Structure 1
Amino acid sequence: MASSLLLLLDDIATVLDDVAVMSKMAAKKTAGVLGDDLALNAQQVSGVRSDRELPVVWSVAKGSFVNKLILVPLALLISVVAPWAINPLLMLGGLFLCYEGVEKLLHSLQHKKPQTADEAQRELEHTEIDLALYEKDKVKGAIRTDFILSAEIVVISLGTVAAAGFLTKVSVLSLIAIAMTVGVYGFVALIVKIDDIGLHLTEQASSAKQRIGRGLLAFAPVLMKTLSVVGTVAMFLVGGGIINHAVPWMHHFSEGTVKYVQEIPSAGSIIGAVAQNSLNLLIGLIAGLLVLLAVGLVKKLWPKPA
């Protein structure tokens, strides 16, 4: 009995050790996607009222947990039943991200800023009327984007543990899913509340804290504007990267191009990284435009009934 218990404990310790090692490997491989995920989600939940920022982040975080709850068992099932379907499904998600990126880009170019006080007042009144709908759309959009990014994270993690046992696979995917969600939305919550933290510090007695507070208040709008741009670019980078890896000839071309420029003395590794991201960005932008044209054509051919 004692020897059986010791054997069981040894097996558990071995599994936990494998889970720890493979989780570390999976976390390293998904770090790039995590950075894009953070920028995208911070940008997606920006623009809501200050007192609604944390509730919105929490709503999206709950949606993200539900996404992972769907994706982890689904990925495990597809990897057993139809492993060939993983890349096409990821590619559809990548195309959707690129399409959303182009729509966001066009909206920002077409949206005119109010020129007069009256125009600004009318826009403010309209915003206040549609505030609940605006917030709901923000949450829906963020959860939808999170689903695609989460799918990529889960698939990358699954590839890391492809040769492992079923229990190890489940443990690693679950651990990565929980850690990524908590990490991303913890940072998002911190980012959107930077201005409130700064305001709180300006009200303190310490002059040092007041200076830090004023610095944070000045930094917050710059950060949010930057994240707005970075978040849109991340859509093309992630979407283009998924398409690039899913299409063999495209992947071989970009891989060959990156290897070629990496041979440049001194700055080869930096140029290689820039070249890879530039190719993904270009692929994502072209793919998004093509999907937008296709959607526009479908709408013209099959208009919605009045």
Structure 2
Amino acid sequence: MPSGLAALLDDVAGITKIAAASLDDVAGAAGKAGTKAVGVVVDDAAVTPGYAMGFTPDRELPIVWKIAVGSFRNKLVFLLPGALLLSAFAPWAVTPILMVGGSYLAFEATEKILEALAGEHTADEPEELALSGPELEAQKVNGAIRTDLILSGEIMAIALADVAGKPLLVQAGALALVGVLLTVAVYGVVGLIVKMDDIGLHLARRKNPVTRSLGRGLVKAMPITMEALTLIGTAAMLWVGGGIIVHGLEHFHLTPIPAWVEGLSHWAQRVPVVGAVTGWLAFALGSAVVGLAVGGTLAGLIHLWHHRKPAVAPDGTA
């Protein structure tokens, strides 16, 4: 009996070691995969605050919470099972899907740049102005969740490409961990951003002059912060989208463009002391140029297509 108990304890200890090793694998894979998705995360954090703006202060955090719940649902209920099925039955499709997503990111960034250059701004649509507060809130939340689905899909695809060689359970654990941690990080930052002006107003009412100055500074910094987030998000979409395309071309042995980007990065790495930083910046810049070229091509084709479509008269005739 003791020998049986000892054998059982040995088995339990062995299973525990295996489980611990698996957890280490999951954590390591999640960390590595998460860093690859950082550009999409930056864009997600830059885009989302706009959906909570324009509402009363008491509705801002509830709106962010609703979007965060939708983001969890997107990642864990829809995208995670889809990613695992893709990994199990069609791993060859991961790179093409990533390239399509990267092209979409580049196109979105290019559209933002073209709108900024043209001086366009998004005004409230008449149908939006006709909605009540709860209806408008529901519309904004649903729109944010749809946008998050696209960005989350890109995050999960990037993470999947990095853990594709791992066992299926490690893949599942890593993707789930990436999804949860990045969602918490993104929407935690978004919550702070949308409440930054309220925090500033609260501090500005304090008696301490230093605290009051800090509060006024936060309020004044809010518009600048939103502008900076827009610029950072656009740059991140270009660099990430272009980088995905570059890696995809390299995967399919279409090497001229990847060789040019890599060569630029290697040349920049020769800078003394900060070579690692300048090399990364050069790769990001080269990737952004590729992203801008692809995004500009797609934007031009789509605009050309829209202009070629016949106009429809009020009576329904072309």
Q: TM-score, normalised by structure 1?
A: 0.82
Q: Is 1:282–2:300 an aligned residue pair? A: no
Q: Is 1:48–2:50 an aligned residue pair? A: no
Residues 41 and 231, structure 1, Cα contact 8 Å, conserved in 2: no
Q: CA–CA distance in 2 between the matches of 1:21 and 1:229?
A: 31
Deviations 1:91-136 (A, max 9, x none): 22222222222332333344468xxxxxxxx989998547868766
Classify 1:254/1:101 alpha carbon distance in 2 versus 1 (closer, same or farther; 3 Å). Answer: same
Classify 1:255/1:142 alpha carbon distance in 2 versus 1 (closer, same or farther; 3 Å). Answer: farther
Q: CA–CA distance in 1 between the matches of 2:27 and 2:108?
A: 36
Deviations 1:32-63 (A, max 9, x none): 54334333434x43643343432432333233
> Equivalent residues in 2 for 1:189-204 (5 A)?
189-204=191-206
Pairing partner for 2:26 from 12, 19, 31 = 19
Report the equivalent of 1:72. Answer: 80
Pairing partner for 2:177 from 158, 175, 178 = 175
Residues 60 and 142, structure 1, Cα contact 8 Å, conserved in 2: yes
Q: Is 1:89–2:91 an aligned residue pair? A: no
Residues 26 and 176, structure 1, Cα contact 8 Å, conserved in 2: yes
Larger Rg: 2
Deviation at 1:298, TM superposition (A): 2.9
Deviation at 1:142, TM superposition (A): 4.0
Residues 198 and 213, structure 1, Cα contact 8 Å, conserved in 2: yes
Q: Unmatched 5+ residue regions in structure 2? A: none
Residues 261 and 283, structure 2, Cα contact 8 Å, conserved in 1: yes
Q: Secondary structure at the match of 1:247?
A: helix
Q: Unmatched 5+ residue regions in structure 1? A: 114-121
Report the equivalent of 1:104. Answer: 112
Percent of aligned pairs sharing the same letter: 39
Count of residue correspondences: 297
Report the equivalent of 1:241. Answer: 243
Q: Secondary structure at the match of 1:49?
A: coil
Q: CA–CA distance in 1 between the matches of 2:245 and 2:137?
A: 31
Report the equivalent of 2:187. Answer: 185
Report the equivalent of 1:256. Answer: 263
Q: TM-score, normalised by structure 2?
A: 0.79
Residues 39 and 239, structure 2, Cα contact 8 Å, conserved in 1: no
Q: CA–CA distance in 2 between the matches of 1:153 and 1:293?
A: 27
Q: Secondary structure at the match of 1:221?
A: helix
Report the equivalent of 2:17. Answer: 10
Alpha-carbon RMSD: 3.2
